[in-house]
Structure 1
Amino acid sequence: MLDIGPGIGLPAAGLRRTALTLLLACALAAPAAAVPPPAPARAAPGPGPNADPTFPFSNEVEAFAKANSAGPPMRDATLFLGSSSIRLWDIAGSFTDIGTVNRGFGGATTAHVLHYYKRLLPPVPPRSVVVYVGENDLAAGTTPDAVSRDILTLLKRLRADYPRAAIVWLSLKPSPIRWTLWPKMAQVNAAIAARARAEKFDYLDVGTALLARDGLPDASLFRPDGLHMNARGYQRWTGLVDAYLDHARPVGTSGGKTS
């Protein structure tokens, strides 16, 4: 037997190496055994399931349904319907002498309004309807002819559902960030204005009031994003729409309120 140290033979050294190896293995394994594995990550709680996953805005539309059932229905109200220009407008604060219902949702195209149409309407027929939609359609690349057809489809549907209400479509507005789209907007405005009398709705020019003397959009009437109006811009719209509503009458009558 070969000696490697005083009193230590090969078998003893082998046992010592084996023991050291086992101790080292246990020491390395201990921390892993002491720390439990991490629990599976949980998704942060959200606002709840989307009521209509195939379309955006469904949570906003559900909020409209809740508003409809929150209290007694408002009679002889004016329905404001459309995209973010309607949603961001302080409708109730701007038209304090009439009842109002705001059904604007940001980023909406005419196709979105048509998709959600029945869920946007108040429980009681309105006295009048103010519509602003179509601008986002053009920004998304839809042609002016297609935008005009969709807008007319919406207005015809409103007329069929509310045969006596005064219905007005607000012209597409010029904004600094979308000024390159203005020729297409003007084309849509002209097409809708040309059909107003035949389809029994009104056309109201709310774009000219937002232009500066040089014919360009007045940036002082818009928010820093160059798209949405600020309070001064909305004041101009309020003045125009308020004047219209003061003289608007239910279809087929010379005065009075919609029943």
Structure 2
Amino acid sequence: MPTANINCARSIAIKARPLAGAWWRIAAAIALLPGLTGIAAAQAPAERAADEPRVNADPTFPFANEVAAFAKANEANSGAPGAVLFLGSSSIRLWNTQASFPDRSTVNRGFGGATTPDVLRHYPRLFPKAEPRSVLVYIGENDLAAGATPDTVARNILTLLKKLRADYPKARIAYLSLKPSPIRWTLWPKMAAVNMTVAARSRVGGFDYLDVGSSLLAHDGLPDASLFGPDGLHMNGRGYSRWNRLVDGWLDRMEMAAAPAPRPLSLSN
């Protein structure tokens, strides 16, 4: 019996060795998982940073449906040539451009919650067939609200403006500065950094930079709440009236600059 017990124990030990080795290999693999995960993350495509802000900041108006409506409208109507094209997020979408600029033909291509990567992603479906005379862009605010860095936001904005410049070489293009608002006041330093970067590149990029944010500040340097709606984010009619004056003045200056110089009068006997 003692011999049988010894032999049995040896048999169990011999059979256990391969199993113990298997467990050792499994434990080693588990220990390596954090490192492998870090390596995989480091090797992720660099362009992922531009796609990170996927949170729809305005879920009431899903932009995918609006983009589909834009494409359908473009197919049904080529649009008036020489129109003023407004492009961007909900600050553009809520802007009654037709009523604000009754003496101009306007096309509104704003969709709620849009980030700059969203505009770039849907770019081919946004524009009317007729080439616009002027393009005004407001985008980037939702990018920062979703967590993108100012450097990433500015880089994506400049990519969009470069694409517009290439596709519409004769159009006048302006970028409207990111606006301060009561509910997003903590983001203002980041917005100011984006504005500064885009403004510094305006001359080289062939576009104008319009400071529309300063017009929304009160005397104490804080956002004037009377210019915003109850949500503290979107402007009301009084806020848009300030943008109307700034944009209308810019359009007038651009038209005067493009107008041919009058011919000098010739005196004849």
| Alignment correspondent of 1:255 | 259
| Alignment correspondent of 1:12 | none
SS of the aligned residue for 1:176 comes to coil
Q: Distance in 1 between matches of 2:74 and 2:80?
A: 9
Q: Does 2:198 match 1:192?
A: yes
| Alignment correspondent of 1:215 | 221
Which of these residues, 214, 225, 230, is aligned with residue 224 of structure 1? 230
Question: Unaligned 5+ residue runs, structure 1?
Answer: 1-54
Judged with a 3 Å threshold, the aligned counterparts in structure 2 of structure 1 residues 72 and 144 are, in CA distance, closer, same or farther, namely closer
1:72 offset after TM fit, Å?
5.0
Which of these residues, 123, 131, 136, is aligned with residue 125 of structure 1? 131
For residues 147-166 of structure 1, the aligned pairs below 5 Å read 147-166=153-172
| Alignment correspondent of 2:177 | 171
SS of the aligned residue for 2:232 comes to coil
Cα contact 1:174–1:182 (8 A) shared by 2: yes
Which of these residues, 203, 209, 214, is aligned with residue 209 of structure 2? 203
Q: Distance in 2 between matches of 1:141 and 1:114?
A: 18
Cα contact 2:174–2:210 (8 A) shared by 1: yes
1:122 offset after TM fit, Å?
1.0
Instruction: Provide, for residues 62-101 of structure 1, a one-character-per-residue CA deviation record: whole Å limited to 9, x for no partner.
Output: 1112222334521110100000000000010001111100
Query: What RMSD in Å do the two structures reach over aligned CA positions?
Result: 1.6
Q: Distance in 1 between matches of 2:187 and 2:63?
A: 25
SS of the aligned residue for 1:69 comes to helix
For residues 12-31 of structure 1, the aligned pairs below 5 Å read none
Amino acid at match of 1:255: A
| Alignment correspondent of 2:148 | 142
Cα contact 1:166–1:249 (8 A) shared by 2: no
| Alignment correspondent of 1:7 | none
SS of the aligned residue for 2:183 comes to helix
Q: Distance in 2 between matches of 1:248 and 1:66?
A: 31
SS of the aligned residue for 2:202 comes to helix
Amino acid at match of 2:259: G
1:249 offset after TM fit, Å?
4.6
Instruction: Provide, for residues 16-42 of structure 1, a one-character-per-residue CA deviation record: whole Å limited to 9, x for no partner.
Output: xxxxxxxxxxxxxxxxxxxxxxxxxxx
Which of these residues, 107, 110, 114, is aligned with residue 108 of structure 1? 114
Question: Unaligned 5+ residue runs, structure 2?
Answer: 1-55, 57-61, 261-269
Cα contact 2:78–2:128 (8 A) shared by 1: no
Amino acid at match of 1:136: N
Amino acid at match of 2:98: A
Q: Distance in 1 between matches of 2:65 and 2:144?
A: 24
Cα contact 2:78–2:130 (8 A) shared by 1: no
SS of the aligned residue for 1:174 comes to coil
Which of these residues, 236, 252, 256, is aligned with residue 246 of structure 1? 252
Q: Distance in 1 between matches of 2:126 and 2:78?
A: 17
For residues 48-59 of structure 1, the aligned pairs below 5 Å read 57-59=63-65
Which of these residues, 243, 248, 251, is aligned with residue 237 of structure 1? 243
Between the aligned residues of both structures, percent identity stands at 68
Q: TM-score, normalised by structure 1?
A: 0.75
| Alignment correspondent of 2:189 | 183
1:255 offset after TM fit, Å?
2.4
Amino acid at match of 2:159: T
Q: Distance in 1 between matches of 2:258 and 2:214?
A: 30
Amino acid at match of 2:162: K
Q: Distance in 2 between matches of 1:184 and 1:71?
A: 39
Cα contact 1:209–1:236 (8 A) shared by 2: yes
| Alignment correspondent of 2:79 | 73
Residue-pair matches, total: 200
Q: Distance in 2 between matches of 1:65 and 1:147?
A: 26
